[in-house]
Chain A
Amino acid sequence: MASVQGALLDLKRLDRLAGGDTPLHRLDPRAKVLATLVFIVCVVSFGRYEISALIPFFIFPVCLVSSGRLPARYLAAKVALVAPFAIAVGICNPLFDRTVLLHLGPLDVTGGWVSFASIVVRTALTVAAALVLTALTGFASICRALVSLGMPRTFAMQLLFLYRYLFVLAEEGGRAARARELRSFGRTGRGLASYASLLGHLLLRTWQRAERMHMAMLARGYAGTFPAAQHGSFGAREFLFVLFWSALCIILRLYNGAEILGTLVTGYLP
């Protein structure tokens, strides 16, 4: 549980990064959300044996990280955290798909391994993009941008509440788990049964908190709808940002950037 709390602290750091003051941070959230969406759609839509064409896409997160002055190592560690999931999803591919696609010297590379690598690269790209977006924009602003781009307000509200009370819930859960641990002296205690009642208590407490929050909302005139927040302005800079990155992503999707670069370089070789 301590590690869960550690992870949450890290999440707070991600949130703090959004308080930065670079031109990228100041960009209207909608522009960043749109560009990231186009990027993700382009990356995900590739065929399953594609790797080389995916590599140039790293330019998007790399550019944003450097011009947004984000800590690259920290973000890379966050991406690595998701890697096990991608590996779990793709690990069976090499077993099922044994068609040999290419030879690297004596090594036969099967389609399974290629598609596995493709899954891992794609996960890295999409997760990195999402993290960079959060670090540049902040979760709340992303939600608001999504609402103004047409997401139902109720979803946004749910997401915001989730994000707000995630920290509170994790702290409560962490405390309860620590209290259990301190009295079980390294043994399993009463095993799963004690976890069951711990979770039950957590649920009840969440329930009570929800009631108190509702009371707090009513006390301040809540009548079923959240007041709309003010919007930033979607100006020329935002338009250019979206246009540039969308165009680049679409071009890289249609033409294999790595291959073009390769032929350019090899074309000049004797």
Chain B
Amino acid sequence: MSHHILEIDHLRHVYPDGTEALREVSFSVRHGESVAVIGANGAGKSTLLAHLNGHLLPDAGEVRIGHVPVDRTNLNEARRTVGMVFQDPDDQLFMPTVYEDVAFGPMNLGLSGTELKNCVAEALRRVDAEHLAGKAPYHLSAGEKRRVAIATVLSMSPDILVMDEPTNGLDPYARRQLIGLLKEFHHSKIITSHDLDMVLEVCERTVVLSKGVVRADGPTLEIFRDEALLRECRLEKPLSMQGCPVCGPKGR
């Protein structure tokens, strides 16, 4: 049995106020695959992500991690397997120092002593943030916060990384740095974003959500070439695929 396969099967979720955020969502992510989930505001992306580590439980259908359905009995296992990086790093960094924040997950998993120290150091090293270990989260810049937030998840060695709008609010340099980082990870990845240029670089496959259903699922480049589809889902070609404003409309 492999933990690396994530299957989302006829998922439906209705919020208590009657909003049907997900109507029927099905797709699966294989080992090592990078999948982008894109869609307009309110398409159901965040609701979908909240199901992936059992924060929300489906009204119908199921999420399976390594062929095991996520339910109340195996939440802890699901949460270790699926590392979730939140949209707002301030939600994720709640401990007094960066070190303690990165150590929070591994400590809860029972690590201590040098094992813990090595684990934290390694996670921080991978996001190039060793020098931030002793700092308080509110003293960090947005880019640093984002990298540390990723380290807090990496330290639990998840099999699948889930990220909500990872490039949101970053300056071009920090964004570039993050893209480089994401490309280095060999985890299975699920990324939601409105930054389609980043999606183009990082994810080979894209799932388009629209009004709670999967509208399209295929190779990223193919999907981004389908202008009619994009328009229908309130999306637009990534800038790098549009014509240059100076040398005229050519595009890929």
Contacts and interface: CB of A to CB of B under 8 A. Distances in A.
Interface of A: 12, 15-16, 19, 138-140, 143, 160-161, 163-165, 167-168, 209, 212-213, 215-223, 227, 229
Contacts of B153: 220
Interface stretch (B10-18, B57-65, B101-109, B173-181): B101-109
A213 B94 contact: yes
The 3 closest A-B pairs by CB, nearest first: A140-B96, A221-B108, A227-B107
Contact of A168 (B50, B86, B90, B96): B90
A143 to B, nearest CB: 8
B117 to A, nearest CB: 9
B240 interface: no
Main secondary structure of the interface of A (DSSP, over half): helix
Main secondary structure of the interface of B (DSSP, over half): helix
A216 B79 contact: no
B21 to A, nearest CB: 16
B34 to A, nearest CB: 20
B94 A167 contact: no
A217 B80 contact: no
Contact of A19 (B86, B95, B105, B134): B134
B79 A219 contact: yes
Contacts of A217: 94, 104
Given A216-B94, A218-B79, A219-B84, A164 B137 contact: yes
Contact of A164 (B50, B84, B96, B109): B96
Nearest to B155: A220
A216 B100 contact: no
Contacts of B83: 219
A160 B96 contact: yes
A220 B155 CA distance: 10
A114 B53 CA distance: 65
B138 A167 contact: yes
A221 B105 contact: yes
A138 B99 CA distance: 15
Nearest to A216: B92
A223 B104 CA distance: 11
Nearest to A163: B96
A115 to B, nearest CB: 40
Nearest to A143: B96
Contact of B138 (A164, A209, A223, A229): A164
B67 interface: no
B193 to A, nearest CB: 18
B138 A216 contact: no
